[in-house]
Amino acid sequence: MDLTLKVWRQKNREEKGGLETYKVTGISEHASFLEMLDIMNEQLIKEGTEPVAFDYDCREGICGTCSLYINGEAHGPDRKVTTCQLHMRMFKDGETIYIEPWRSAAMPVIKDLIVDRSSFDRIQQSGGFVSVNTSGNTQDANALPIPKMNADLAFDAAACIGCGACVATCKNSSAMLFVAAKVSQFAYLPQGQVEAKQRVLNMVEQMDKEGFGNCTNTGACEVECPKSISIKYIAKMNREFLSASCSSES
């Protein structure tokens, strides 16, 4: 396949970036999108141009590091996949492909296609944990009965890999799907009850501080989420938040 790529280039945080056009030829339709970018970079190096910086780690859809807004959609045109799992067969020979970084005030571009997602880390640090001692006195898993339904709900929420596609996709750059997943994975389990109230209040507060937008319930996030996190978790977070802010003692 021969492709025309319109790639966002930006030197650093401060400088204004812009789209550059590169042509790549002879790409196999079995290649992954990141492999295609590797080939493009090799070509750029040969030409003496600085290669394009882009993020990745596992390349098997589990770490959430690869990002990219491809042809107007987070992680490209395929569904329920990250960019490392996106294959070139989703594109047509001769196609022009736009490749842009996530766009959000709370996730500024560091270089080229790489954005700073530490806002997600700070949200996690504000409450996305349980303070139970897990060393030494581990109890038998079956000693703590958990309804099957709650276990499943918590497990589905915990599938979130923190990729940020929800933010990138949302017209408001809202992080509510991410935060809802992180709140819910504990809210459905007994281990999460101790800090439940403070958790949701702190995490929402941190989310607002970071400058993410407000949810308008367009549902775009759940469509583009590689892990199919449902917006029913946003309703769950809203319930948790309401009950916590109506009754919190702090």
Partner 1 sequence: MSNGLSNSSVGRKVLMALSGFFLLFFLMQHFVINLFSVISADLFNEISHFMGTNGLIQFVLQPILIFGFLFHLAMGMYLERKNSAARPIKYAMDKPSENSNWMSRNMLITGIMVMLFLGLHFYDFWLPEIKTKFIEGDWSGLNNGEFRYWEELHHKFQDIIRVSIYCVAFIFLGLHLSHGFQSAFQSAGFNHNKYTPIIKKLATLYAIIIPFGFIFIALFHYFTQN
Positions that interact with ligand FES (CB under 6 A): 56-59, 61-66, 82-84
> Number of residues in contact with ligand SF4, rule: CB under 6 A?
15
Q: CA geometry: angle at 15 spanning 11 and 16, to 5°? A: 100
Q: Check if the beta carbon of residue 138 is closer than 8 Å to that of residue 46.
A: no
Site string for partner 1, 121-160 (x = CB under 8 A): ----------------------------------------
Among ligand FES, ligand HEM, ligand SF4, none, the one that 63 touches (CB under a kind-dependent 5 to 8 A) is ligand FES
Q: 192: how many CB neighbours lie within 10 A of its CB?
A: 18
Q: In Å, how far are 29, 77, 97, 176 from 4, measured between CA atoms? A: 15, 17, 6, 35
128: burial class by Cβ within 10 Å (0-12, 13-18, 19+)? buried
Residue 120 in contact with residue 102, Cβ under 8 Å? no
Single-letter residue type at 227:
K
Which option in ligand HEM, partner 1, ligand SF4, none does residue 166 bind, with CB closer than 5 to 8 A by kind? Answer: ligand SF4
Does 105 bind partner 1 (CB under 8 A)? Our answer is: yes
Q: Using CB under 6 A, pick the residue from 4, 96, 217, 243 that binds ligand HEM.
A: 217
Residues near partner 1 (CB under 8 A): 6, 8, 19, 69, 71-73, 77, 98, 100, 103-106, 169, 171-174, 176, 201-202, 204-205, 207-208, 211-220, 223-224, 231-232, 234-239, 241-242, 245, 250
